Amino acid sequence: MKLFGLEITKTKKQDSIKPATIQEFIVQPKIANVQKVSDAKAINVYKLNRISNPVVSFKQRTSTNSFEEAEYDLSEIGRMADVDSYIARAFEKKEGLMFKAGYELVGKNPETIQYIKERFKQIASVTGIPTKHLMKRLGSSLIRFSNTYVAKVRKLDSSGGKVRKLANGKEIDPVAGYFPMPPTTVRLMRNENNKILKYKQVLPNGLYKEFSSDAVLHFYLNKKEGFLTGTPSMVPVKDDVLALRKIEENVELLVYQHLFPMYHYKVGTEKAPAALYPDGQSEVDIVKAELEFMPAEGAIVTPERHEITALGAEGRALRVEGIINHFKQRVFAGCEMSSIDFGEGDTANRSTSDAMSRNLVDSVKAVQFEFEMFVNEFIINELLLESTFDDPLSNENIVELKFNEIDIDSKIKVENHAINMFRAYGITANEFRRSLGKEPFTEEDWEDTYWKRIEEPKMLIQAVDEAYLPTQAAIDNPNTSLTPEQLASARERSKEDPDKTTSKPKANQPKPTGGQRAAATLDQPENQHVKKSSPEKRKSSLTDNKESPLIKMYDDLLDNIQRSIQKEYYGKTWLENTCKTMGDFMKKRLNNECKLSFYKGIRQTGADALLRKTSVALSYVESKISKDINNFISNLTKMIFDTIDDSNKPNPLKLSTSFDSLRFLCRFIYDTELKRSLNYGLCFGLRELGHKQANVLISNENCDICGTQDTVIELDAVTIYDVPGYHSNCKCTIKMP
């Protein structure tokens, strides 16, 4: 027995205690007169009183009734996002990725999920803010400022919730709407233990409004102990951004300085320097005067002693590429993004790009985790408390917001690993479902899986029938496509030794396995029985159209397809639609006959079918028939498609053989469903006459299926799956009293 987290075990002596483990060494409670945890009074979480934080904050208040600003200048973060392209792009990228795959409300109780959806619709209607837009605004504020403030408005007339009572006995109205608040305008009042007393919104023009502590929700990221607000992710990046922009500004000035070159005019050489004329002018003065009065688009002609040179940076200026890249990478790292995310692909391939973007995905997932936690705890749980559900915060009623996976490649890898583990017998089916983030299958869910709908019927149809092999089916079929020589050879191979009294596989045929013998009798995939008994040996009466009207329709379908193939008027779409149309006719015909058989069973009991409506019972019969025929047509269509060769034309021999392999199933469906409908009608009539139970006459006690069935059926909860026939050629029936 576990008591308050401690493992305590009683021995034969009541006063003896199992030796303590390491966890039990410090405290050893006595077993005598201790109340069991299961017998303790149930505690409702939402009725518990709030407690104060005993830890004293290191940041002292300036006065008793003063409002404090956030520890960080959130307005500066907002200005950075407005003026800096890297910061703005990082925020936009994260916000888009956060809500890229969307989110959903999950829970075990569909009613509570629907209730939360309806409440969100009501809130969106009265506030004018769509729910998705509200969530995006809250997530955007959380990414940009690491703080989100939401004002709650309570109003009974504008809400679908109910008035509820707090633990202190105070009654409060339900929430009618949520309104995001700019984090840059919020001030907080607290006590010495950091408990928030009030909120105050102050605008730049001096206007302000105060809110009580229970009227505002505060979401935060990276909140340090003793602080009022979370630390914005851009705080450590601010200095790097300023340094990068300062360097870029200096580079800009350097470009302007050397954009227009300076020309150097050299007059004379060392051997023939500039001449000095008798009037006192030098050759340099003359050239200078000429240059001053020369038009901008003019030209100048000089002798060999004159040289003009354009002076510029000429590669001797400071190289800043490495410095700029250094600070740029610091900004990228602080924004938790790579150069790929900012659009600087360079020579990176897809694999490199995915690896470099991993940081961004991980950072967004961390924000999603915090966002889910706050929304589930402070919004959805409060809406549940305002509902009429009993114990709304129990595990069965809880509702949570969950973001869908944004990293699809990683999700595919995890799912493939789970599939491999399940196939290698490493995990159970329930563990496999949980590894995919989904709830385990219920019994109803299993019936709607690909296995139940497709794979199991296909395996049953393709199973080897020991008493009726495909060769014998081709022989019995009067419309077989085998040549006379092939037919004669098949008959010779099918002859059995008359001296042998037991049926054994021939030497040239493989011995049927246990699984093949167990699947010798085909049943509908919806049947609750798993094992099948060996059927009676089929005779040539299998092809009797009078016995099974479905076979006539089945043969007409084959003739129609064969004629269309001869005229080359066919296609996959046409083949599929033709089979589907014939399946609809089969369902209609079989449904009418089963309905007559159902009423026949009622009349045999002496009950009047009009005494009580039978529409519900007949709907079960119709649903069962629809599933049987749909599975049959689906498998028939697939087998027809398998006969199409490389020339995109069905092979006539393979097509006829495929039809022969499924032909007997028409009789099986027809006979079994008529038998069940009749027995279902008998049970319905007996129930109308006041009987509580019905007895089943088992035809063969040695049958693997019939011998395991209950001989008594409770009529109050009887379904069409509970009545005979239990398998092909089942002779069991309902005993009349």
Domain residue spans of the chain: 1-41, 74-237+362-403, 408-440, 460-494+512-735
Higher pLDDT, 2 or 145: 145
Per-residue pLDDT at 372 exceeds 90: yes
How far, in Å, CA of 375 to CA of 118, rounded? 16
pLDDT-wise least confident of 125-129, 380-384, 494-498: 494-498
- Weakest mean pLDDT among 14-18, 100-104, 334-338, 400-404: 14-18
For residue 537, pLDDT over 60 is answered with: no
Q: Is the pLDDT of residue 512 over 50?
A: no
CA–CA distances in Å: residue 119 to residues 130, 158, 165, 394: 12, 11, 19, 19
Least reliable range by pLDDT among 287-291, 391-395, 504-508, 654-658: 504-508
Instruction: Tell me which range, 272-281, 338-347, 423-432, 481-490, is most confidently predicted by mean pLDDT.
Output: 423-432
Give the lowest-confidence range in 21-30, 161-170, 184-193, 262-271: 21-30
Q: Exposure of 203 by Cβ count < 10 A (0-12 exposed, 13-18 middle, 19+ buried)?
A: exposed
User: What is the residue-averaged pLDDT of the chain?
Assistant: 75
Lowest pLDDT segment from 369-373, 455-459, 664-668, 714-718: 455-459
530 pLDDT higher than 60: no
pLDDT greater than 50 at residue 6: no
Give the pLDDT band of residue 717 (cuts 50, 70, 90): confident
Q: Which residues in 108-261 belong to E strands, given as ranges? A: 147-154, 164-165, 171-172, 175-181, 186-190, 196-202, 208-212, 216-220
Residue 77 has pLDDT above 80, yes or no: yes
pLDDT in tens, 255-308: 777 777 777 888 888 888 888 888 878 888 888 888 887 777 777 788 888 888
Return the HEC string of 402-442. EECCCCHHHHHHHHHHHHHHHHCCCCCHHHHHHHCCCCCCC
pLDDT of residue 287: 85
Question: According to the model, what pLDDT value does residue 526 have?
Answer: 44
Per-residue pLDDT, averaged over 719-724, amounts to 83
Q: What is the mean pLDDT of residues 664-684?
A: 83
- Which of 84-98, 221-235, 633-647 is the least confident region? 633-647
| Residue of 307, 315, 317 whose CA lies nearest to 264 | 307
Query: Residue 613's pLDDT is what?
Result: 60
Residue 343 binned pLDDT confidence (cut-offs 50, 70, 90): confident
Is the pLDDT reported for residue 16 higher than 80?
A: no
Q: Report the C-alpha gap between 599 and 591 in whole angstroms.
A: 12
Angstrom distance (rounded) from CA 264 to CA 655: 96
Element housing 374 (H / E):
helix 358-375
- Asked if 145 contacts 180 with a C-beta cutoff of 8 angstroms, the reply is no
Q: Is the distance from CB of 386 to CB of 122 less than 8 angstroms?
A: no
Supply angle C-alpha 242, 247, 248, rounded to 5.
95
State yes or no: pLDDT of 500 exceeds 50. no
Burial class (CB in 10 A: 0-12, 13-18, 19+), 335: buried
Taking residues 431-447, report their average pLDDT: 83
Residue 682 pLDDT exceeds 70 = yes
Cβ proximity of 68 and 190 under 8 Å: yes
Q: Tell me, what's the pLDDT at 216? A: 94
- Amino acid 626: pLDDT: 84
Nearest to 202 by CA among 59, 61, 69: 69
Whether residue 240 is predicted with pLDDT greater than 80 in this model: the reply is yes
Is residue 435 over pLDDT 80? yes
Pick the most confident of 385-389, 631-635, 728-732.
Answer: 385-389
Which residue is associated with the tokens 């227009």? 260
On the 0-12 / 13-18 / 19+ scale of CB atoms within 10 A, 94 is buried
- Over 50: is that where the pLDDT of 529 sits? no
Q: Indicate the pLDDT class of residue 128, thresholds 50, 70 and 90.
A: very high
pLDDT for residue 177 is more than 70: yes
423, two tokens:
């196939």
Q: Can you give the pLDDT at residue 568?
A: 67
Share of the chain above pLDDT 90, in %: 16
Residue, of 379 and 342, whose pLDDT is higher: 379
User: Who has greater pLDDT, 439 or 424?
Assistant: 424
Query: Which residue shows structure tokens 């990046």?
Result: 237
pLDDT on residue 145: 93
Q: Residue 414: its pLDDT value, please? A: 87
Q: Between the ranges 114-128, 158-172, 643-657, where is the mean pLDDT highest?
A: 114-128
- Looking at residue 592, its pLDDT comes to 81
pLDDT band at 122 (very low <50, low <70, confident <90, very high): very high
